[in-house]
Chain A
Amino acid sequence: EAGVTQSPRYAVLQEGQAVSFWCDPISGHDTLYWYQQPRDQGPQLLVYFRDEAVIDNSQLPSDRFSAVRPKGTNSTLKIQSAKQGDTATYLCASSLGTGDEQYFGPGTRLTVL
């Protein structure tokens, strides 16, 4: 069974540029999560979906970040105007249902110069 896949694996931007991250969860998993993991810190939840619906996006900086999961499968996380403080690894995870074990993808390591 394929795991969670993410692309790109790395991104380097100048401040003010936009970037999109893509995530393909494990087939059959209805819940998908996006985490931000700054260097030397634990993952911090940004947003999560059950199917195509956003369940919690309270930690997503809504002025610059957006996330969608239009068909309840793949998901895209977008940063509209990146800041140096956005430098982190962005992890996607999926689970069979909310509260079940989460499986993490390899992450996208973002550097904003």
Chain B
Amino acid sequence: EDKVVQSPLSLVVHEGDTVTLNCSYEVTNFRSLLWYKQEKKAPTFLFMLTSSGIEKKSGRLSSILDKKELFSILNITATQTGDSAVYLCAVPPQGGSEKLVFGKGTKLTVNP
């Protein structure tokens, strides 16, 4: 069965800190891994990773994939209170469908 495991489940930091969120996966015929940020209700798309070792970057957020070790990390530098959210990792399962299997998420709280 396809599986996504995120750690830690929750994290509390102070503004300005750097955080690393982890996502490991087990899926047959891996195609891609996606990161989303969920504030309130709707997840918003951050990154999609398909190639190992290539960093995706957007402002203070970056992510990288290790296909050999089956994990990805999401880094946030110089955190701000607006980064407080649940960060979700997801993979499309085997079978070629575009549906997604999600991890439980990491709840990040950034205190001023």
Specify whether A and B are partners: no
A residues with CB within 8 A of B: none
Q: Residues on B close to A: CB < 8 A?
A: none
